[in-house]
């Protein structure tokens, strides 16, 4: 039992900025003089419409989304996008390229095979997903309808440090675990999607940023809610959207603005990651699992090499108020997820705890 808030290193859902939670708490019974909670507002009301449009506008500005792209707030998480992308985009040529750099990108590839011919553009399976393939290793099909990759691999702690060049083939990117962690050039992408529960909002909303000309080519039997053209036409309100999560996203975006925007966020995230990787590089007990050039700034994966010692570390850390440091069940070891909302104080405190643990157990 904790009387105070703790440092939560969960891979997602994960920490939200404290000022965001405080604001949500303050106006939970009566938001902006509406006489009701955001959770009670009709999605067609002017009160909610202003929240919705404000959130969309802030996201467009923060990510510098060009005018020929639409921003959608959908449901179903990234896994729904694994189907929605091929259902809508595969049609033009019936083929797509997939980069396999971890668990979720492989899941996306498997799902897409229901809807067309999928080629493996690259795979990091040989290195147990501890690396990210380089540009010259990508096997590109000129006739692919799109090229799909996952920008950050939460389980393996790797992150693409470059944007693949695919010529005229539209780039589709799962940014669930690093969106808003740094500036991106949206114009390089055809479609970006991201489940919100890591860097954006509570679980329940999925952000899609789509170049408008890519919509409108859905397969015949595409479920209506999984049709981008329908969602664009309805401005994400073909039916009731996940209003509370959209509101929370709006508060998170305001927090990011006040912090100085995505360039500033990137600096902080780089510093946070550097603190933990320095501990790993200097340690005689812990070692990082990702290859240095592929290291993620969002998920720092490490281990001692001794399963019992790993388990002891996770347990003692949890008792000290550092929660969710256990690695994913597929790989074991430890994982510190340090998304935007994890303060640098939390990272320093964990670094100190790791050094102390090392002294006691080496």
Binding site for a copy of itself (CB under 8 A): 1-6, 8, 10-16, 18, 21-22, 24-25, 28-30, 33-37, 39-43, 45, 75-80, 82-84, 87, 111, 114-115, 195, 197, 202-205, 220-221, 223-226, 238-245, 248, 321, 323-324
Of the candidates 185, 183, 182, 142, the one whose C-alpha atom is nearest the C-alpha of residue 166 is: 142
Between 272 and 335, CB nearer to a copy of itself: 335
Between 22 and 135, CB nearer to a copy of itself: 22
In whole angstroms, the minimum distance from the beta carbon of 110 to a copy of itself comes to: 9
The burial class, CB within 10 Å (0-12 / 13-18 / 19+), for 294 is buried
In whole angstroms, the minimum distance from the beta carbon of 89 to a copy of itself comes to: 14
In whole angstroms, the minimum distance from the beta carbon of 67 to a copy of itself comes to: 28
In whole angstroms, the minimum distance from the beta carbon of 284 to a copy of itself comes to: 30
Q: Which two tokens stand for residue 220?
A: 């015949």
In whole angstroms, the minimum distance from the beta carbon of 158 to a copy of itself comes to: 20
Between 242 and 250, CB nearer to a copy of itself: 242
Between 79 and 127, CB nearer to a copy of itself: 79
Between 140 and 311, CB nearer to a copy of itself: 311
72: which strand partners?
Answer: 208
Between 309 and 318, CB nearer to a copy of itself: 318
Between 4 and 360, CB nearer to a copy of itself: 4
Between 27 and 358, CB nearer to a copy of itself: 27
In whole angstroms, the minimum distance from the beta carbon of 222 to a copy of itself comes to: 8
- 300 Cβ neighbours under 8 A, 6+ residues apart: 157, 273, 276, 277, 280, 288, 335, 336, 337, 338
In whole angstroms, the minimum distance from the beta carbon of 332 to a copy of itself comes to: 15
In whole angstroms, the minimum distance from the beta carbon of 39 to a copy of itself comes to: 4
- Angle at 124 (CA atoms; ends 117, 144), nearest 5 degrees: 25
CA distance 350 to 346: 6
Between 241 and 250, CB nearer to a copy of itself: 241
In whole angstroms, the minimum distance from the beta carbon of 151 to a copy of itself comes to: 18
């Amino acid at each position: 039992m904790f009387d105070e808030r703790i440092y939560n290193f969960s891979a997602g859902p994960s920490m939200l900025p404290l000022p965001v939670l405080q604001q949500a708490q303050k106006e939970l019974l009566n938001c902006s003089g509406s006489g009701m909670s955001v959770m009670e507002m009709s999605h067609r009301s002017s009160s909610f419409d202003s929240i919705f449009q404000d959130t969309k506008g802030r996201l467009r500005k923060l990510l510098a989304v060009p005018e020929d792209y639409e921003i959608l707030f959908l449901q179903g998480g990234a896994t729904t996008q694994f189907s929605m992308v091929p259902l809508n985009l595969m049609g033009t040529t019936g083929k797509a390229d997939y980069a396999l750099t971890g668990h979720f990108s492989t899941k996306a590839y498997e799902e897409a095979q229901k809807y067309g011919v999928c080629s493996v553009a690259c795979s990091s399976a040989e290195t147990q997903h501890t690396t990210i393939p380089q540009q010259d290793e990508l096997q590109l099909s000129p006739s692919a309808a799109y090229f799909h990759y996952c920008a950050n691999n939460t389980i393996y702690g790797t992150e693409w440090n470059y944007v693949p060049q695919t010529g005229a083939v539209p780039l589709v990117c799962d940014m669930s675990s690093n969106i808003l962690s740094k500036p991106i050039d949206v114009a390089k992408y055809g479609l970006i999607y991201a489940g919100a529960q890591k860097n954006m909002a509570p679980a329940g909303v999925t952000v899609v940023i789509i170049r408008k000309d890519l919509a409108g080519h859905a397969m015949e039997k595409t479920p209506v809610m999984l049709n981008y053209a329908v969602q664009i036409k309805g401005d994400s309100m073909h039916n009731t959207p996940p209003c509370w999560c959209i509101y929370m996203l709006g508060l998170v975006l305001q927090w990011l603005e006040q912090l100085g925007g995505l360039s500033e966020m990137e600096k902080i995230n780089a510093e946070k990651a550097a603190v933990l990787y320095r501990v790993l590089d200097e340690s005689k007990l812990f070692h990082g699992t990702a290859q240095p050039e592929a290291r993620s700034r969002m998920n720092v994966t490490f281990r001692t090499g001794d399963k019992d010692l790993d388990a002891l570390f996770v347990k003692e850390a949890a008792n000290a108020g550092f929660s969710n440091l256990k690695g994913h069940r597929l790989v074991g070891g430890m994982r510190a997820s340090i998304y935007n909302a994890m303060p640098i104080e939390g990272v320093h405190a964990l670094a100190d705890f790791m050094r102390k643990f090392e002294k006691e157990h080496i």
